[in-house]
Amino acid sequence: MNVLLIGGGSRMTDAVIDKLNKGKHRIFLLTGRRDRKFSYKHVFERYDYPYEDESIKDIFESVKPDMVVFMGAFDTNFDWHRERQESVRYTASLMNILATYSMVGKGKFVYFSSHDVYSGAWHNDIPESAAASPRGFKSMAIAQGEEICENYRKTQGISTLVLRFDHLYGVPRKGQEESNPCFQMCLEALKTGRVSASDRKSFAMLYLNDAVELAYKVMMEEKPAMACYHISSMEEINEIKLAELVIKAMGGGIRLVNNSVGEKFRLVLDGRAYQEEYGQNIFVHYEEGVEQVAKYMKRNADTFISAEDAGGSRAGRIWHGVKVAFKRVFPFVENLICFIPFFILNSKAAGSEYFNRLDFFLLYVLLFAIIYGQQQAIFSSLLAVAGYFLQQMYGRTGFEVLLDYNIYIWMVQLFIVGMVVGYMRDQLQFIKDENEEEVRYLSRKVDDIADINDSNVRMKQSFETQLVNQRDSLGKIYEITSSLEAYESEEVLFYAAKVLGELMDSKDVAVYTVANGDYARLFSFTSGEARKLGNSIKYTDMEDLYTDLKEHRVFINKKMDEKLPLMASAVYTEDRMELILMIWGIPWQRMTLPEANRLTIVGALIQNAVVHANRYLDALTSQRYLEQTNIMSPDAFGQLVRAFFGAKTNGLTECALLEIVADDRRQAAEVLGKNMRQTDYMGMLEDGGFYILLSNTDEKNAEGVMERFRSAGYGCRLREEVGL
């Protein structure tokens, strides 16, 4: 889908762009300012216009977004140090965006809010239904943004979604200030060498990447159950514990200042509504997340603190001040030192036949104008004038020197030459710096282009493969899936795995039949790797997989969990899950949205044949049996045995056939039926023998079943070949 992201440059913006790109969405970015210092990967088109600009309407008409994401509380275009002025601009900007969107937009409008809309202490976690209680202009502006979205949803029928994030933290951009507690504590540690904290203040923080992952789920939901969700870890932590984690990550030299006074302050958003609807996994917990933030800020301390703050301790600040002062004073000291030899040379040259016309003071001024620029050119000119006056006073009085107009002409010449050369040097340096910045910017663009080119090369190779072998064409897929019709109804389920493996280009494919609401039984497979989950699985306990299958989505194992297949899809009959198709052996490069779409198409095309075969097998076991028994007739049971043993020969399943020794077969069927699984079959064959077919059971596992049958009083033996 086309997604228009509205917000300034920040880690939050980067994370949202990265997540949307992984979801294969086309991203358009409205930055809100004419500023090119940030570059963005994976952005299809970028618009550098203020939110109040009339071009906003043209942007919406051009993009035609399926979803608009407004960064809101996390938009860096607003300077909240000037809360009063920015609150007005914030509300006006959002009104302009929503008004334009209501006229030309479609799809969904997502507004990022935060815990700032609440103030005061809350004994319990704050649910979405709790009324906002903002305090301060920033909080009021964010809360008003929520109300504006709600009003447009009710009056204009716009699908708006408000996501309130609870105390987000993460690795910041260099030099970019943030307001979360983790950043503030790390900054205080760098500036002062101490961290102030209170165990009376507690909250719940959520790492940035986790927050974006959770937000993405509800953003992609077509019709969310609620118009507002709280995105929170609900893992409470107080300032003292957080400060201890910061100090541990920062290393030695940082001390904790305990300010535990006053009333208890607690503010934790209640995210249970989101958790119950979408599920929730937190991957980066406090210890790991705080360590990442602290180490990054310590490594790049110069970008976060000013000169007077540097070092964290008094000695460090003094030493930093000395270094800064020395750096600034050094050119003047160097100028004074170099003046001495030029003064001596000019004195010696005055009485020399060969060097009397050489002006060493002019050379001295030119030297420092070229090296340091206009400022040092003026200083060196002043020193040269003082030195020249001193030399002239060796043979004349000071009054005579002051009346000599040639000296003033020389002085004017000296200053003009020095200042012009210094100015030219400063301009050349300015141009050089600009060129270097442009080169750095273009280098970043080249990197972006290289990434885009790599993606294009992969797409080109994929299209070439399609053109060469037509494996992905709908005609080819239909041709292969139609081959299932050539098999007997009893064989379709087995060869569905083979067909699926061929279409998905995987050697490791398994087909599970859903036995009841919680369990699925392995029916066929193409390799030992494909049956690693076992013959019976409780798929409802596989949270990530079950969530996607329940929503009729293809499961992609993005976490690379070894206990789950790399991809999986379900075949439904109406609203009842019939089969689960699992794919194990594919490279991670192919775990993409196009592959998921192909699996969906393949599943839909084989659905009719597979579901028909599955129903036919049910009919064989429930209808084609001997009168008043659960024993299948020779015809029905013979077809079933041939199908299983044929699939076993082709390596698609495991099965075992047991011959039962019993005089009263009706009674044996009643007794042994209690010791059989739902997926096992009992019947007669043409030779008059009484048999039980064990599905997905090899000879070794069949021994245990035979022992149970013998314990029940019936002899049995394993039949390897059946004369069918």
Q: Which of 167-181, 244-258, 384-398, 652-666 has the lowest mean pLDDT?
A: 384-398
End-to-end Cα, the chain, rounded Å: 56
Our CA dihedral for 179, 180, 183, 186, rounded to 10 degrees, sits at 110
The model's pTM: 0.47
- What's the confidence (pLDDT) of residue 189? 86
Paired sense of beta strands 159-165 and 228-231, if any: parallel
Residues of the chain with CATH 3.90.25.10: 173-201+235-312
Identify whether the C-beta of residue 591 lies closer than 8 Å to the C-beta of residue 557.
yes
Please state the CATH superfamily assignment of the domain spanning residues 624-719 in this structure. Answer: Reverse transcriptase/Diguanylate cyclase domain (3.30.70.270)
Whose structure tokens read 């203040």?
A: 201
Question: CA-CA distance, 654 to 525, in Å (whole number)?
Answer: 9
Please state the rounded mean pLDDT for residues 88-93. 90
Q: Which of 478, 174, 186, 404 is nearest to 300 (CA)?
A: 174
Buried b (16+ CB within 10 A) or exposed e, 518-539: ebbbbbbbbbeebbebebebeb
Question: CA-CA distance, 141 to 129, in Å (whole number)?
Answer: 19
479 falls in which pLDDT band (50, 70, 90)? low
Question: CA-CA distance, 250 to 436, in Å (whole number)?
Answer: 34
Question: CA-CA distance, 156 to 550, in Å (whole number)?
Answer: 33
481 pLDDT higher than 60? no
pLDDT tens digits along 654-707: 888 888 887 777 778 878 877 777 778 888 887 778 888 887 777 777 888 888
Secondary structure (3-state) at 675: coil
- What's the confidence (pLDDT) of residue 471? 47
DSSP count for the chain of H helices, then E strands: 21, 24
Residues of the chain with CATH 3.40.50.720: 1-165
pLDDT tens digits along 627-638: 667 778 777 788
Burial class (CB in 10 A: 0-12, 13-18, 19+), 106: middle
Please give the residue that has the higher pLDDT: either 187 or 320. 187
653 CB neighbour count, 10 Å cutoff: 25
Q: Which of 706, 698, 646 is nearest to 676 (CA)?
A: 706
- What's the confidence (pLDDT) of residue 274? 92
> Above pLDDT 70, what percent of the chain?
82
> What does residue 616 show for φ and ψ, rounded to 5 degrees?
-65, -40
Ranges of H-type helices in 483-592: 492-503, 543-550
Helix, strand and coil in the chain, % to nearest 5:
55, 15, 30
- 254 Cβ contact list (under 8 Å, min separation 6): 189, 193, 194, 195, 246, 247, 312
> Above pLDDT 90, what percent of the chain?
14
Identify whether the C-beta of residue 668 lies closer than 8 Å to the C-beta of residue 714.
yes
SS3 string, 274-321, reads HHHHHCCCCCCCHHHHHHHHHHHHHHCHHHCCCHHHCCCCHHHHHHHH
Whose structure tokens read 């003009």?
A: 416
Question: CA-CA distance, 240 to 244, in Å (whole number)?
Answer: 6
Please give the residue that has the higher pLDDT: either 675 or 208. 208
Mean predicted lDDT score pLDDT of the chain: 80
Q: Which fold has domain 1-165?
A: Rossmann fold (3.40.50)
> What does each C-alpha distance from 542 to 168, 264, 414 come to in angstroms?
29, 40, 84
> What does each C-alpha distance from 637 to 463, 609, 640, 668 come to in angstroms?
47, 21, 5, 17
Check the CA dihedral 426-428-432-435 and report its sign: positive
Please state the rounded mean pLDDT for residues 81-104. 86
Angle (deg, nearest 10), helices 360-372 and 405-469:
30
Given this structure, which CATH class describes domain 173-201+235-312?
Answer: alpha beta
Identify whether the C-beta of residue 291 lies closer than 8 Å to the C-beta of residue 249.
yes
Question: CA-CA distance, 280 to 40, in Å (whole number)?
Answer: 29
Residues of the chain with CATH 3.30.70.270: 624-719
- What's the confidence (pLDDT) of residue 64? 87
Report the CATH number of the 474-617 domain: 3.30.450.40
Identify whether the C-beta of residue 510 lies closer than 8 Å to the C-beta of residue 496.
no
Residues of the chain with CATH 3.30.450.40: 474-617
